[in-house]
Structure formats: C-alpha cells, structure tokens
Structure 1
Amino acid sequence: MSASPSRTRPLTLQINGRAHGPLDVPEDMMLVDVLYEYLGLTGTRFGCGQGVCRACTVIVDDERGPREVRSCITGAHYFDGKRIRTVEGHAKRDESGQLVELSPVQQAFLDHFSFQCGYCTPGFVNAATVLLETLTKTPVAKDDVEATITQALNPHLCRCTGYVRYYQAVKELVLKTPGLVKEGAR
C-alpha cells in the first residue's frame, strides 16, 4: 500500500523584499523546506528539526514588528502573504548580486570571530537583527544591556560554544549604535 500524496495549496511569500509565488506547495511542508527546495535559499539552517536550536530562525515583518519565527516547525502556509527575511537578505548587494557591504550584525560577528563552524550563525544573525531593530523603537537602559542581550540570544544554541563572542559582538554593537541605549541611563 503506497502513501497518499500530500495535498497542495498555492503559497505566496515576500522574502528579502522579493515576491515569490504563487507556488504549489504541500499543505504539511515546513518553511525551511520551501526555502531550500523551491527557492534555493540555503542560508537558513535545518538543525534539530524540533525548533529547539533555532538555527532555522527567519524574521517576519508584520504589524507586531520584526520577530523571530522558527521555520523548521512552522508550516509554510502560515507565512502566506507575509514579509520574511532570511540571512541572505541582510547584506547589501549590487544589481549583479555582488556583495557590497555586510549588515552591521554580520560585520560585528566577523570582527569578533564569533562563529566556528557557522551552522548556528544565521539564527544568531536574525536574533541580533531583531534585537537591534526593537531597540531602535524601545531603547534599553545601559544597566540592562547585558540582560537584554542574554534574553534575546539565550534561546539560540551553538554546538561549538561560540556564545561569548556572539554576546560580545552584540553588546559592542548595541553600545556603539546611537539611539539603542537610553541617554543618561547607566
């Protein structure tokens, strides 16, 4: 007896500012699989497959603001019509696709040698990006910077124990970026 094929539905996404779809996607397919199999976006990592490691994190931009969503446990159709950013969308590129400039988060991670194997890096890039964008709207007191960074990055797992350098890079970036730390607060 053969397994019955999955039912499909059209899926339309906006990823990194570019419209995709409608794509005929199985109803039970996770977004990480759509990114890989349909769109060739392989920067988002499939790690644990259970949403624990968060290597699969993408950013959703909607009325709630930028937020992290785990793409290995969230069905692709949840994202229908939504604006999504993957790690491929952070760096600036020219018309031919050549790299022009890394994002501030990517550059900070590179400057601090934050990654070893790099498997978890896309999730950390997205988490730090969401944190910085959130702080532009709601700055943090200087005394709360470390706790705020810990809260943002702690759910992400790194197999190579690169945590210290990720945290150092984000802390330096938060402290040196104007407007992220409340003036006059210690």
Structure 2
Amino acid sequence: MSIPTQPLSLTINGENKGPYDVPEGLMMIDFLHEYLDLTGSRLGCGQGICHACVVIVDKPDGTSEEMRTCITGAHFFKGKIVRTVEGHAQADEKSGEPVPSSVQQAFMEHYSFQCGYCTPGFVNAATIFIEKLRRQPVAREDLESEIEKALDSHICRCTGYVRYYEAVRDLALATPGLVKGAAK
C-alpha cells in the first residue's frame, strides 16, 4: 500500500516552488522542513495554540494573514504566496550579506527573545502588523491595544512578551507614517 500524493506548487519567499509530489495529509510545517529545508518555523505545541509555526500568506488584495502550519495541510497552500521567517532578511547591495528586516532588528535591539523558539512566529505576526500600519495608520492612543491584538495569540514560554511588545511599539513609533499623533 502506498500513500496517495498530489502535486503541490506555490510561491515561497518570492520563489516559485514545485510541483512536488506531496502526501495528501502532510502538514505544511513538515513540507517546509522536509521538502524545502526551511526549518525556521517551529513545531511547538502541534495543536495550533502556540503559533510558533506560523507563516505569512499574502493575499491578492495586498493584505496578509498568519497561517498555522502545524495544523494546516500543505495542500491548502497550493498556488498561494507564502513568506517564512527565512524570507525577511534582505541581501545588502554591496556585500551581499543578509540584513535583518526592521522587525528582526527591533527584536534584537530589545533582546526580545531568550530561547528563540517562539521568535519566528512573533516575527511574522509583527511583520503583518507593521505592514497593516503602513496601509492603515493607528492613533497613538490605540497603539498598545492594537499591538496586543496583533501578538496576543502567540505564546512565549520564556516570558519575553514585554520585550516583544516594546520592540514592536518602538518600531511603530520610530517609523514615519505608522502612528497618527506620534512625536517626531
């Protein structure tokens, strides 16, 4: 008896991938790890609760959403545009060395993570949040509650919440045009 497969093609971190013959019930996190060697998304709880495994799915309307990969089959992503934590850093024009995204840099500057297991999920959630603020700036008095909404579903077992939240707040306030009424 063999495991039934279906072809899977999608775009990951700006590159078209596939088609791959992928078992029908394979979870996306296993596809990322085993087929693409993209191991940044973490298998934390395996039940979709901790959000360490999330990736970003970009929609045709220019918005994005988090998608848990430990409970979502790989074939759900067929034809979709996906960003993993490995896709955030960009190559420096001169040296070619990777340069962290503004979210990654803010997390490093605030020492936001301890063990780092939850960090990929927080990076993806914060990236979506910052991109949302570029489209729809928030009033200064609403910033804290909006950060809480954006990051609330993510679990950090090392208690790094305060530093994650501070990093996102400071990045939003320091980036022109994201917060209405922010001091310049």
Structure 1 and Structure 2 fold alike (TM over 0.5): yes
TM-score (norm 1): 0.93
**Distance change in 2, residues 1:98/1:42 (3 Å):** farther
Structure 2: unaligned runs, 5 residues or longer = none
Which stretches of structure 1, 4 residues or more, deviate above 4 A after TM superposition? none
Note if contact 2:92-2:99 (Cα within 8 Å) is conserved in structure 1. no
Counterpart secondary structure, 1:13: strand
Task: Select the residue among 1, 12, 17 that pairs with 1:15.
Answer: 12
1:136 shift after superposition: 0.6
Partner of 1:141: 139
Q: Distance in 1 between matches of 2:182 and 2:104?
A: 29
Task: Select the residue among 27, 31, 36 that pairs with 2:33.
Answer: 36
Partner of 2:160: 162
1:179 shift after superposition: 1.2
Q: Distance in 1 between matches of 2:166 and 2:145?
A: 13
Counterpart secondary structure, 1:12: strand
Partner of 1:83: 81
Amino acid at match of 1:40: D
Percent of aligned pairs with the same amino acid: 61
Mapping of 1:23-172 within 5 angstroms?
Answer: 23-64=20-61, 65-93=63-91, 99-172=97-170
TM-score (norm 2): 0.94
Note if contact 1:91-1:99 (Cα within 8 Å) is conserved in structure 2. no
Q: Distance in 2 between matches of 1:136 and 1:159?
A: 30
Note if contact 2:46-2:70 (Cα within 8 Å) is conserved in structure 1. yes
Counterpart secondary structure, 2:138: coil
Once the two structures are superposed, residues 163-185 of structure 1 have per-residue CA deviations (whole angstroms, 9 ceiling, x without a partner) of: 00000000000111111112489
Note if contact 1:145-1:171 (Cα within 8 Å) is conserved in structure 2. yes
Query: What is the alpha-carbon root mean square deviation over aligned residues?
Result: 1.7
Partner of 2:175: 177
Q: Distance in 1 between matches of 2:71 and 2:98?
A: 33
